[in-house]
Amino acid sequence: MVVTQLESSLMPRTAIVADTDPARLSNTSAVLAGAGFSVTEAADHKSLTALLDAHNPSLVVVDRSLAGPQVAAPLLVLIDLADGLDSEGARYMGMADYIAKPVCPQELVHRAQTLIRRAAQRNEARESAERLRGRLRSVSAAVRATQDPQLISEHLVNGFGETFGADRVLFATFDDNRVPRITAQWHRANLLPIPDGLGVHEHAAYQVANRLWADAEVLAVDDHFNHEVTPDETNLEAWTEQMRPWASAWVPVGEGDSPFGVIWIAQLDEPRVWTRAEISLIQHVAGNVAYGLIQSHLMSAQKQVVKQLQQLDQAKTDFLATVNHELRTPLTSISAYLDMIQDGAGGPVPPEVGRMLDIIVRNSERLRRLIEDMLTVSRQDYEGTSLHLAHVGLGNTLRIVTVALRPLAELRDVTIDLELADDGPVIIADEVQLEQVFTNLVSNAIKFTPGGGRIVVSSSAEPLPDGAPGVIVRVADSGVGIPADEIPHLFTRFFRASNATSSAVPGSGLGLAIAHDIVNRHCGQIDVASELGSGTTIAVRLPAAGR
């Protein structure tokens, strides 16, 4: 910054002069007053301190004997050269400059004006830096407010162009999997955009950006006509000459060990001095842009993955629905003809053939249940919490389940007992789905209970863990039990206990998973207690009606 003579004459000119020598105090004050200063005098420490508290002078001139109080304005100290003054003593006094006694009037005025001018320059630099920080804070805020990579880039080039009064700003990313390919630019109103961005010079730009990134530097050129080109800039010189900037700044943008883009800010008509504050703030904003681009690219990639997974999941569901339909159609026909044959529609069935038909019927029923379970799982994935809620008498539901499954239990020589208090409690639930839960639990108990065993289905009113009214249904069997380390996995789809696999007990591993999902959607809880060789008890807790 160059301060003109007119600007110098308009600067505030107030001074405090402090000296214990009355003659020197009067003489110094007269010289400054003659140069246009408004002067206030102090003859001791006390009066000097009072004046500094009451006024904000543009200059303070003190004799060394009175130097010491903290002064915001430039401090000019009168010293005796014979006393000597080292740099440490100068820092202690907070001195901006000194002048030897006896004071030469012309030198005093010159030193005073120089100190005031330098102070004005420093103030202007601080204010300019603060204005710059304010503008670039707005740019950073705009960058952080969006997740659109193109908008981030446009906020960057527009903000830099307007903040620095540039003629051109170009931002381009390289071929890098961390960020998308982007080219954004800003230019003065009477200029045309750069048609190809970096074009064929991208590799050369990357080499320069890579060197700058490794050194944590910015290539700031104040005057291209007097700039010595470094070896790694040689390949980029052709592009730079084509753009014909007078001054420019190359700023790498990246993350980690390498850059993935570059910012170019250009002044076309005159040289420009890039200050340290400007370079530091440019790098700070470039860091925000890098973070924003990486995050937006990651989020975009995640959204794409989620979309693909949803499409795959939908394809799976469609496939299961189609397969279930195609399997159930012939299975329905097979079951119907089996019933007709067993009923004697084709004539008497020999006993041996009847036993074979019984095996076929049991296996076709197993296949039907497996198909129904797969369809239920598929529906749960997409229908979520769609429940048809109504008041349900839990005792009636349990009677239906036990009556339906008692013939299967009798075939295996297993007893099913139903223990209800009155008609059992009333709950709000989807009765069809709840019936499926208890059907799966009792069916499982039958499969894992050896001949001569017993299954007890009971219900009672018991508070939930949070103290709210609730009901509990227990299905207890005297079966083979479950290994303790496998209990946490029981409700995982397709999981089967090791003793079920080793004993060749039939099943798909879906029944308990389906039951667990339905109970969860009823805001309930399902627990398992088991001991190998002693049986298993599964408890289903559900909220009572009117909760």
Closest CA to 99 of 86, 109, 88: 109
| Sheet arrangement for strand 525-531 | 415-419, 454-461, 470-477, 535-543, 525-531
Q: What is the pLDDT of residues 258-303, one digit of tens each?
A: 999 999 999 999 999 998 888 999 999 999 999 999 988 888 888 8
Closest CA to 112 of 3, 15, 10, 19: 15
Per-residue DSSP letter, 438: H
Closest CA to 437 of 288, 538, 294, 290: 538
Per-residue DSSP letter, 512: H
Start-to-end CA distance of the chain, whole Å, equals 78
Q: Are the C-beta atoms of 474 and 457 separated by less than 8 Å?
A: yes
Q: Are the C-beta atoms of 370 and 508 separated by less than 8 Å?
A: yes
* Neighbouring residues of 150: CB distance < 8 A, sequence distance ≥ 6: 182, 184
Q: Checking DSSP bridges between strand 247-255 and strand 219-221, what pairing results, if any? A: antiparallel
Q: Are the C-beta atoms of 427 and 392 separated by less than 8 Å?
A: yes
List the chain domain ranges: 5-127, 131-294, 384-543
Of 8-12, 369-373, 419-423, 528-532, least confident by mean pLDDT is: 8-12
- State how far the Cα of 30 lies from the Cα of 316, in Å rounded to an integer: 97
DSSP for 239-256 reads HHHHH--SEEEEEEEEET
Report the pLDDT averaged over residues 500-511.
57
**Across-strand partners of 124?**
none
Q: What is the pLDDT of residues 380-418, one digit of tens each?
A: 554 554 677 888 888 888 998 888 888 888 888 999 999
Q: What is the pLDDT of residues 423-482, one digit of tens each?
A: 667 888 888 888 888 988 998 888 888 889 999 999 888 888 887 888 899 999 998 888
User: Residue 463: is the preceding peptide bond cis (ω within 30°)?
Assistant: no
- State how far the Cα of 405 lies from the Cα of 399, in Å rounded to an integer: 10
For residue 12, pLDDT beyond 70: no
Of 52-56, 249-253, 318-322, 460-464, least confident by mean pLDDT is: 318-322
Predicted pLDDT of residue 112: 92
Would you say domain 384-543 falls under CATH 3.30.565.10? Answer: yes
Question: How much is the pTM?
Answer: 0.50
CATH superfamily of 5-127: Response regulator (3.40.50.2300)
Q: Are the C-beta atoms of 93 and 76 separated by less than 8 Å?
A: no
Q: What is the pLDDT of residues 370-387, one digit of tens each?
A: 777 666 666 555 455 467
Predicted pLDDT of residue 506: 55
Reported confidence tier of residue 2, pLDDT bands at 50, 70, 90: very low
- State how far the Cα of 217 lies from the Cα of 522, in Å rounded to an integer: 62
- CATH number belonging to domain 131-294: 3.30.450.40
- State how far the Cα of 398 lies from the Cα of 460, in Å rounded to an integer: 12
Q: What is the dihedral of CA 363, 365, 369, 371, to 10 degrees?
A: 70
Q: Which amino acid is at 515?
A: A
**Across-strand partners of 526?**
540
For residue 10, pLDDT beyond 60: no
- State how far the Cα of 222 lies from the Cα of 217, in Å rounded to an integer: 15
In three-state secondary structure terms, 59 is: strand
- Token couple for 219: 């290539």
Report the pLDDT averaged over residues 22-50.
93
